[in-house]
Structure 1
Amino acid sequence: MISTESHVKEIERVAAGEHSGRDTSVVQSWLRCVNDYKLDPAEAQDAYIVPQAILREHQEQAESLIRISRAGLAALYDQIAADDYVLLLSDARGVAVDYLGNPRLDDELRQAGLYLGAEWSESRAGTCAVGACLVSREPVVIHQDDHFDSTHTRLTCTAAPIFNTHGGLAAVLDMSQLSSPVAKTSQRLALHLAKATARRIEMANLVARTGDDWVLRLARTPDFLDTAPDAALSLDGAGRITGLTPSGLDALARSLGFAIDTPQALIGMPISRLFDIEIDDLPAFMRGQPAGERLLHANGEPLLFASAISPARRPAPKTLAPRSTSPNALAAMHHGDPAMQTLARSATKLAARGIPMLIQGETGSGKEILARAIHDEYNDGGRFVAVNCAAIPEHLIESELFGYVANAFTGAARKGRTGLIESAQGGTLFLDEIGDMPLALQTRLLRVLSENEVVPVGGVEPRPVKLRVVSATHQSLRDLVEAGRFREDLYYRLNAATLSLPALRERQDFDALLAHMLGEIGACYGECYRLTPDAARRLARYDWPGNLRELRNALEVASALTDDGVIATRHLPEAIIRPGATPDIQAQLAECDGNVSELARRLGVDRSTVHRRLKRLRAAR
């Protein structure tokens, strides 16, 4: 690695037009940094982490892709974690909306910008893997002093683009290390893994969005046609192409010498113009036929192998009681459980009148899902804005909620900023963990609810707001009121109606819910998953302290581990296989070096659940 002074001089020589032995992608990025962004390589800049409120906005907009990507990222991380790689999923603006890394390196990773919320756009960070990939739309390795900013020259970063089903750039997958071997060739495997995972995510995204369309998966050989195809297309009932996996299709076309100008140009094209096939021929390419016989032809010549998936036809959910009259989003929350059906009917009637609601339930029981369902069914065009009152630092929560005017305090944006409450105008404000809101802010929130107006920090003029307020907590607000930690008048304002979500272990529709979740996961990855009888029994007998969230995580992991779609007992988490042998939570915490966040990730539960278990354990002793 060269010195900072030599690094700066090399960039200056390249900017002056001198030849460089570095990769073309690096040279082009350096030139953009100097000529387009007016960055100075001599002025080092620390990594930038966006504020929590801004991160939530980015995550909300990328919510579907984050969910679809999670299993692929987890599988990749399992392969590379031992080498202290970090995985970042950055959106199309360069902000890391999902992250997997070693908790023991948290402080170093955050300082280096290899962390959740880090912005790696080229215009801010200079030459970096995420930024260069966003501009070039090509996989790239930015190794050590390939970076423009000397702050980042010890890092090695490998990135691959993730495109949406119409060819638009949706995200970037980045694999990074704080330090690595000097040779750039050491990252060849990282580049291969990043590209392969990006294609897998594109495939899952296509299958998840097909609806009533066919999916035609393509491969050069029949060996992995049904499990790891090279590319895929979605087709409507008339045989027109409605979506595709751009990265895989482009690579497949190049390897075969098959003429495709751009993958995007195929949207709307009849499949018969690409291959010697019509929509009615697709059933012959479905599973059940020998893979070696599912051969696609073009212009009479054999070209590649294909596997067809028929349109998803999801049966209506089974019910144990008369059908609910509630709208679809609320009705979809239950699968026959009488308590959930009653709750959905109550939520329907209350939401139609805009009555404030308080949702109570254990961690992971679906409080935000219920709030979103209420919003989806009764929405006047406004946004759903979720605020976790326990996650925002106390010194930031006031400006995050209420916004601020220009120059309200040191470090404030010059134009001020709209708060989360005002940004929910015409929609729904969801206040999660409302019991953790500081007392001083409870007074200000009460004014918002009673006067329908908000005053930004540093401002004097109130701004009118009209929104629905839904709150949630796992605590007893009545107990908090009696303890003097929650305002009684705010309690009654928020608690006009209470909706109590049952814990998963109390629900009577567990089997139907389990089947529904497996169907959703299978649709994401183009697979059909089923449980062995013993695995199903163990899932049904488990206590589920993490509720729906823990169940979803367990099924995501189990489905990723199976090779043939059959989830056996060995694929389930250890806590489910041997619940009586679960280690003491304090011992588990010690294994995580006291890091509560890491333990929560291992258990598949929220941090607040870990804190509650520790508190109960101490009280019992």
Structure 2
Amino acid sequence: MAVTMRVSEHIKEVQSVIEGSQTSRDDVIATSWTRCIDDYHLDPVVMQEAYIVPHTQLKEHRERLDKLIRTAKYGLDALYHQVADHGYVLMLTDAEGVTVDYQGDASLTWELKKAGLYLGAEWSEARAGTCGVGSCIYTGEALTVHQSDHFDATHSSLSCTAAPIYDVDGSLAAVLDISALQSPEPKASQALTLQLVTSCTRRIEMASLMNTFRRDWIIRLSQSPAFLDVDPECAMAVDAEGRIIGMTHSTQRLLSRIKGNNWRQPHALLGCLLSDFFNLDINELPALSRALPTEERLLATIHGDLWFAHAIAPQPSSIQRRKKVVSGSLVSLYGDDAKMADLAIKATTLSMSDLPLLLNGETGTGKEFLAKAIHESSSRKSGPFIAINCAAIPESLIESELFGYADGAFTGARSKGKRGLIEQANNGTLFLDEIGDMPLSLQARLLRVLAERELLPVGATKAIPVSFRVLAATHKALPDLVSNGSFREDLFYRINGATLTIPALRERSDILWLVGQILTGLTDKPVHVSTLAGDLLEKYPWPGNIRELENTLRFALAFCVEGEIQPEHLPEEIKTGLGRPQCVSSVTQELLATLEAYNWNISETARALGVDRSTIHRRMKKERIERHYQPQGKR
């Protein structure tokens, strides 16, 4: 009976506030009640239990927030440890109000799920009325919705305190909520909870900024020198030109105050120069490093307000750190691409020995460039590098070209004979490109040279000793050629001391870096690639790999007269994104198989392949792989 009376009184109060009566409720609550009636057409008389989204939809919501969940994990665990003994539940929701992470007392699972304090619960205002999460999403502010503050009397026993988590671009990313099934009557009892949740969201935003912009300047600000290095209030990321490229929410508000802008318009801040807000130039940032005592690291706004500042220099990427162990010319083969970095490290180690190497990769991926780089990083770098394209020399000439010939071996031949290419590689490196196209008859002769370390020129009676390192390359699957009898098995094992596989261009993340390197070699004039043209170059599947990319850039240079390559300067197939039909690579097959195995769950696929979700999305984009299913309930 008492519960029925409370519900009835609550409904009457909501109705009276909507009609304009005076109320002791906070303005944010009264305004939300009005929204519930006017905007969402909710009825306070109609009470609805919490809504839990279907599992398939929950998976989609969790996937979109996967990176933030991982970033926030430590902070959320620590926060729950602080409040768990007081009966609180911790929920992380996305910007739509769907709970994507949850921690609560397992012994109360049934009660918590019924109350909506559970994984998958949707707490948008449009769905649940005035509530901690929904009202936080609408206002963008941290707040407490306590007991009968809730619009729907179903939730009037709950106390919910929520704070927004903003992305580095200023947009709302998530909401962190601490709720309790039961709590003391006074709303003031939740003041400490509000402090805890806002402090945690600030640290999560700080961690997200630090993780996202490791390779850019990060400036952290505090009004207290004692807290600058341990718990600063604000932080922002700045690029090499001094432009603001990321920020925490407290920084968003600070910069907006300096500019006199509305803090809800982050696009008006991103891209602005640091000097638009502070009396500081990008070149002065090193002076704010820890080389100086904290008290001396002062930074003034353009209005004269002082902040203590800590500037953190760009950190080298994992690729750059790995480049330190890559020797010689191998460093110049790639930009910021993890696969090429791993390849270069492996090649560096192998270059130290005379072990024969087999370089595998599609046509045009740069196998000869890799071979030259290995040679120049080896102990034989002072010797010659002799490259032989086994597919380009006519079969009638290949024997004499490889092995040379003795005096008088042929009618009309030069009187002193000719040194073959293999002999010319003595004390250096012999690179056998497209070795899969070598005739069987010559495979036997090459095998003898590799086994005996001596060669017999055509028409000669005395063998010549030779010493060289063998690098062979092919775009074919040599084991298949061995199986069908077109390639000698004993030769295969002679040249395959180790295999290095070069990724196809469409699988690389440093295409624009390659564009810059190629343009530098093609022209002395400064040439830039526009953003739109760069996007087209990155999206194109490149069936011809680096060779096709170089031809494309030669084509573009012929039409580019202003020093900037635009989309109209590119070949038609690049502009339309339609290349020649291509074979499905083993990498693509592996990706497709893993996606299928995990029901096209991007997060689980990424974990299975040991990469980030962004890598999976990039590969799918390059390979034009589309998700071919719809979640249940949306068919």
Aligned positions of 1:390-429 closer than 5 A: 417-418=634-635
Gap runs ≥5 in structure 1: 386-400, 405-415, 419-621
Query: In the comparison of the two structures, how many residue pairs are matched?
Result: 386
Distance 1:366 1:209 in 2: 20
**Cα displacement (A) at 1:19:** 1.1
- Residue equivalent to 1:195: 198
- Residue equivalent to 1:396: none
Distance 1:271 1:22 in 2: 42
- Residue equivalent to 1:539: none
Amino acid at match of 2:587: A
C-alpha contact (below 8 Å) 2:215/2:317 kept by paired residues: no
Amino acid at match of 1:54: Q
The Cα offsets for residues 146-179 of structure 1, whole Å up to 9 and x where unpaired, read as 0011111110000111112232111111111111
The Cα offsets for residues 539-573 of structure 1, whole Å up to 9 and x where unpaired, read as xxxxxxxxxxxxxxxxxxxxxxxxxxxxxxxxxxx
- Residue equivalent to 2:587: 351
Aligned positions of 1:272-351 closer than 5 A: 272-299=275-302, 301=304, 303-316=306-319, 318=322, 328=337, 349-351=585-587
- Residue equivalent to 1:377: 619
Q: Rate the CA distance shift 1:334–1:205 in 2: closer, same or farther, 3 A.
A: farther
Distance 1:99 1:172 in 2: 12
**Cα displacement (A) at 1:288:** 2.9
Distance 1:344 1:42 in 2: 68
**Cα displacement (A) at 1:302:** 5.6
Q: Rate the CA distance shift 1:294–1:179 in 2: closer, same or farther, 3 A.
A: same
- Residue equivalent to 1:206: 209
Q: Rate the CA distance shift 1:365–1:209 in 2: closer, same or farther, 3 A.
A: closer
Q: Rate the CA distance shift 1:355–1:165 in 2: closer, same or farther, 3 A.
A: closer
Q: 1:123 aligns with which of 105, 126, 136?
A: 126
Distance 2:110 2:38 in 1: 34
Distance 2:592 2:278 in 1: 57
Distance 1:101 1:357 in 2: 37
**Cα displacement (A) at 1:332:** 7.8
The Cα offsets for residues 270-301 of structure 1, whole Å up to 9 and x where unpaired, read as 21121111001111111232111101123584
Amino acid at match of 2:586: L
- Which secondary structure state, in structure 2, belongs to the residue aligned with residue 166 of structure 1? coil
Q: 1:367 aligned to 2:608?
A: yes
C-alpha contact (below 8 Å) 2:594/2:605 kept by paired residues: no
C-alpha contact (below 8 Å) 1:351/1:378 kept by paired residues: no
- Residue equivalent to 1:176: 179
Distance 1:302 1:129 in 2: 35
Q: Rate the CA distance shift 1:92–1:383 in 2: closer, same or farther, 3 A.
A: farther
TM-score (normalised: structure 1): 0.56
Q: 1:238 aligns with which of 233, 236, 241?
A: 241
Aligned positions of 1:88-167 closer than 5 A: 88-167=91-170
Amino acid at match of 1:143: H
Q: Rate the CA distance shift 1:152–1:305 in 2: closer, same or farther, 3 A.
A: same
- Which secondary structure state, in structure 2, belongs to the residue aligned with residue 287 of structure 1? coil
**Cα displacement (A) at 1:187:** 0.4
Percent identity between the aligned chains? 41
Distance 1:142 1:92 in 2: 18
Q: Rate the CA distance shift 1:330–1:150 in 2: closer, same or farther, 3 A.
A: farther
Q: Rate the CA distance shift 1:107–1:274 in 2: closer, same or farther, 3 A.
A: same
Distance 2:158 2:344 in 1: 49
C-alpha contact (below 8 Å) 1:351/1:374 kept by paired residues: no
Q: Rate the CA distance shift 1:244–1:56 in 2: closer, same or farther, 3 A.
A: same
- Which secondary structure state, in structure 1, belongs to the residue aligned with residue 308 of structure 2? strand
Q: Which protein shows a greater Rg?
A: 2
Distance 1:284 1:371 in 2: 35
Q: Rate the CA distance shift 1:358–1:40 in 2: closer, same or farther, 3 A.
A: closer
Distance 2:344 2:173 in 1: 33
Amino acid at match of 2:262: T
Q: In terms of mean alpha carbon deviation, does 145-154 or 203-212 score higher?
A: 203-212
C-alpha contact (below 8 Å) 1:375/1:384 kept by paired residues: no
C-alpha contact (below 8 Å) 1:243/1:267 kept by paired residues: yes
TM-score (normalised: structure 2): 0.55
Distance 1:117 1:329 in 2: 36
Amino acid at match of 1:286: S
Distance 2:103 2:205 in 1: 19
Distance 2:252 2:501 in 1: 44
- Residue equivalent to 1:53: 56
Amino acid at match of 2:170: G
- Residue equivalent to 2:358: none
**Cα displacement (A) at 1:318:** 4.5
- Which secondary structure state, in structure 2, belongs to the residue aligned with residue 44 of structure 1? coil
Distance 2:75 2:227 in 1: 17
- Residue equivalent to 1:84: 87
- Which secondary structure state, in structure 1, belongs to the residue aligned with residue 91 of structure 2? strand
- Which secondary structure state, in structure 2, belongs to the residue aligned with residue 3 of structure 1? helix
Q: In terms of mean alpha carbon deviation, does 236-245 or 312-321 score higher?
A: 312-321
Distance 2:591 2:228 in 1: 53
**Cα displacement (A) at 1:376:** 3.7
C-alpha contact (below 8 Å) 2:343/2:502 kept by paired residues: no
**Cα displacement (A) at 1:238:** 1.4
Aligned positions of 1:551-570 closer than 5 A: none
**Cα displacement (A) at 1:266:** 2.5
Q: In terms of mean alpha carbon deviation, does 31-40 or 295-304 score higher?
A: 295-304
Amino acid at match of 2:22: H
Q: Rate the CA distance shift 1:364–1:9 in 2: closer, same or farther, 3 A.
A: same
Distance 2:306 2:23 in 1: 41
- Residue equivalent to 2:261: 261
**Cα displacement (A) at 1:262:** 3.4
Q: 1:225 aligns with which of 202, 224, 228?
A: 228
Distance 2:293 2:131 in 1: 46
